Amino acid sequence: MTDLLHTLPTFPTSSYTHLLPSLEKNLITTVDLLTLDALEIAKRAQLPVLDVRRLANAIVTALQTELGLSIEAGNGVANNGSVHQNVQKTGKDNTRLRKTGSEVIERWQTISTLDENLDAALGGGIPTGYITEITGESGAGKTQFLLTLLLSAQLPPPQGLSRPTLYISTEAPLSTPRLSQLLTSHPLLTTLPPSTPSPHLSQILTLQTPDLESQDHILRYQLPVALQRHKIGLVVLDSVAANYRAEFERPDARSGAAMGKRSNELAKLGQLLRDLARMHDVAIVVANQVADRFTPITPSAMRAAAVHPTGETKNGPLSSPLISRSHIPIGINGPILSSSPSLPLHSSSAPTFPPSQPPTSTFDPMTLDHQQRWFTGWGSSQCMTENQLKTPALGLVWANQIACRIALIKEPVYSTVNEIGHISTDVRTAGEEESGRGELVRWRRWMKVVFAPWMEGEREGRGIEFEIKGEGVRSAESA
Residues 6+ apart with CB under 8 A from 74: none
Which has more confidence, 33 or 358?
33
Cα 44 to Cα 13, 34, 345, distances in angstroms: 21, 15, 66
Residue 363 pLDDT = 60
User: Which range (30-34, 333-337, 447-451) has the least confidence?
Assistant: 333-337
> Among 65, 76, 126, which residue's Cα sits nearest to residue 103?
76
Residue 385 pLDDT = 61
pLDDT in tens, 306-353: 444 444 444 444 444 333 434 444 444 444 444 344 434 444 444 454
**Can you say whether residue 124 is alpha, beta or left, with left for phi > 0 and alpha for psi between -120 and 50 degrees?**
left
Residue 398 pLDDT = 95
Residue 339 pLDDT = 39
DSSP assignment of 241-279:
SHHHHHHHSSGGG-SHHHHHHHHHHHHHHHHHHHHHHHH
Residue 79 pLDDT = 44
Residue 418 pLDDT = 56
Cα 342 to Cα 81, 288, 338, 345, distances in angstroms: 88, 54, 9, 10
Residue 146 three-state SS? helix
> Among 150, 146, 148, 147, which residue's Cα sits nearest to residue 165?
150
Name the range with the highest mean pLDDT among 128-142, 374-388, 415-429: 128-142
What is the arithmetic mean of pLDDT over 259-273?
A: 91
Can you point out the beta strands (E) in 394-436? 404-417, 423-429
- Confidence band (pLDDT; 50, 70, 90) for 383? low
**Percent of the chain surpassing pLDDT 70:** 71
- Please give the Cα distance from 359 to 302 (Å, whole number): 13
Residue 347 three-state SS? coil
Is 60 exceeded by the pLDDT of residue 423? no
Verify cis geometry, omega within 30 degrees of 0, for the bond prior to 475: no
Is 90 exceeded by the pLDDT of residue 59? yes
